[in-house]
Structure formats: C-alpha cells, structure tokens
Amino acid sequence: MGELINIKGAYKNKDAVSNVIKYVTRTRENETRHNELISYGGAGVSNYTEPMQMIHMFDTIQKLHGINYRKGRRIFHEVFSITDNEFKRLGCCMDAVNQMALEMCMEYYNDGFQVVYGIHWEETKKLHIHFAANAVSFVTGKKFDTSVTGNLYRKQKFNEIMKKYYRHKPAIYFYNNIDNK
C-alpha cells in the first residue's frame, strides 16, 4: 500500500510557493537532480505551462484572498510513495503512473485547491509523487486541511486510485490437500 507523507515545514515566507514548486518540478536554478523527474503537471493550473506560470497562478489566488494580511502557511507539500511491487502491479508503466497522479490531483482540486505534481524516481527512494498544494482555496479562501483525518482520507483515496491502474493481479497460490489414494 502506498504511503502518504506530509513534508514538515513552515512554508510561510514569500518564496515558499516558488521554492516548493521548483523543487517538485526539478526546475530550481542550478538543479542537479533533474534526471530524477519523470513528469509533472497539475490541476487548477495550466498543465502544459512552465512552472513559473504555475507559481504565478498560486500567488494570484493567495493575493485575492489576502494571504499578505492573514500571514501563515502558503503551500503544503505531500509525497505519495509507491513500492517496487506496486509499480510492477502497475505494469511498470509510467503512463499509468502519470494518469494516476493526475487523478490524485483531482482530489485536491475538487476540494478547491490548486496542486502541482512531480513524479520522481530516485535510486534510494524509488518511485514517488510529490504534491504541492496551494494553502488557500480558490473557492472559499480557507486553508488546506492537514488534520490526521484529512491525511488518512487522502491516503485511502490515493490507494484506491492506484488499485484502479493495477494491470497484474497478485499471485495466489493454492495448496492442494487432496490425498491421491
């Protein structure tokens, strides 16, 4: 089962949105880990645009809802990790992982939050999907829910989404206990 991990951090400074989205999309200045990026996209942002445009879209929503007066967190960073076995069950298909990531993004978007994802593969951490969610709802202006209940709900939904993309059923072994007399 995939794990959903909340990356801790205050993310309150004005550069937080830019820093996290550039990290997720591996487009930081002097980036040394760009080869780990498989793909990126999002929901509530133009999918086929440069990360700077995505950052601008997040910032616009935050300014419309008074983030500069309210202060507080500007972005949430979560990672959904996928085991090697789960990747095999996905048919080792990156197209399936990308479609899965887009569908996971819709969980944030349907709750009123813009989100950018980046699919990464690292030798030590294997396959995982980063999500950078705007802390401010584009619908209500309210903050993103990171309660234990909210996190468990997203983890459950993400695992349900992943299972829809499985191409291989788990091996089931039967023990034949019939005596051949």
Please give the residue that has the higher pLDDT: either 31 or 49: 31
pLDDT reported for residue 181: 41
Whole-angstrom distance, CA of residue 58 vs CA of residue 103? 20
- For the stretch 70-87, pLDDT in tens is 778 999 999 999 999 999
Whole-angstrom distance, CA of residue 49 vs CA of residue 34? 17
Q: In terms of pTM, does the model score above 0.85?
A: yes
pLDDT reported for residue 145: 79
- For the stretch 85-122, pLDDT in tens is 999 999 999 999 999 999 999 999 999 999 999 999 98
Confidence of residue 157 (pLDDT cuts 50, 70, 90): very high
Mean of the pLDDT values across residues 127-142?
95
pLDDT reported for residue 126: 87
Please give the residue that has the higher pLDDT: either 141 or 169: 141
For a pLDDT cut of 90, what percent of the chain falls above it? 75
pLDDT reported for residue 177: 43
pLDDT reported for residue 84: 92
The count of other CB atoms within 10 Å of the CB of residue 54 is: 29
